[in-house]
Structure 1
Amino acid sequence: MLRPFDDKKPIFLQIKDRIEDQIVNDQLKEQDQVPSTTQLVNFYKINHVTVAKGMNLLVDAGIIYKKRGVGMFVADGAKEKLVEQRKEAFVDEYVVPMLQEAEKLGITERELTAFMKKVKGCDQ
């Protein structure tokens, strides 16, 4: 099913994120051909420039590369690079704020670990 675009984030960034998700989830592997800009335009029914802008961000980041006259492909090491970037973002966006709030509330490391195990469904 086609996932709608979020109004809170530019569409070109959402295109980039969707391709990154496919790489991280092993739907696209190293050296696999990425859908063409035209295919994405037709699939999502959006402007060519919007798709190209998202794709160019991936090229600039070394996640995909262009083969002239052939298409775009997933670069070697793309998944590892994306996973590392996402881990760093996870720490900044979730772990740091969580630890700051835990400190305000006097929650110990042991309590945090217990909370995570409980939420995950593996009681101590």
Structure 2
Amino acid sequence: MDSLVLSSLGHTWILDLDGTIVRHNGHKLDGNDTPLPGALEFLKNIPDADMVVFITSRTTEYKQVTERFLTEQGIRYDHIIYNAPFGERILVNDRKPSGLVTALAVNVQRDRFEGLHIEIDEGL
């Protein structure tokens, strides 16, 4: 079980969809998305004040079906970026003068989202 230990400051979550939150290409193979075990529970534990951004290689052709699925599942989000390249996603951010690391990355095994928990450390 892994924990993300975060400060009590606001956060921006940048999350992939296929293979991370839902079954990879399930919207094409099955005709609908299927949440991965543990993903919905994880998303519900993201603090309400945080920003949630999904990034996906899905084309805007799937915009309506994707957003309908997220709404039906009660998954909140602030933005969705479509048409992202298939390669690496790189996040670059500055380190706070206090030493707080402001860019984190977590790679999960495709189609397995389990054992990742959020922990807020008021001391950070």
Shorter-chain TM-score above 0.5: no
Say which one has the larger Rg.
1
TM-score, structure 1 normalization:
0.30
- Greater helix share, 1 or 2? 1
TM-score, structure 2 normalization:
0.30
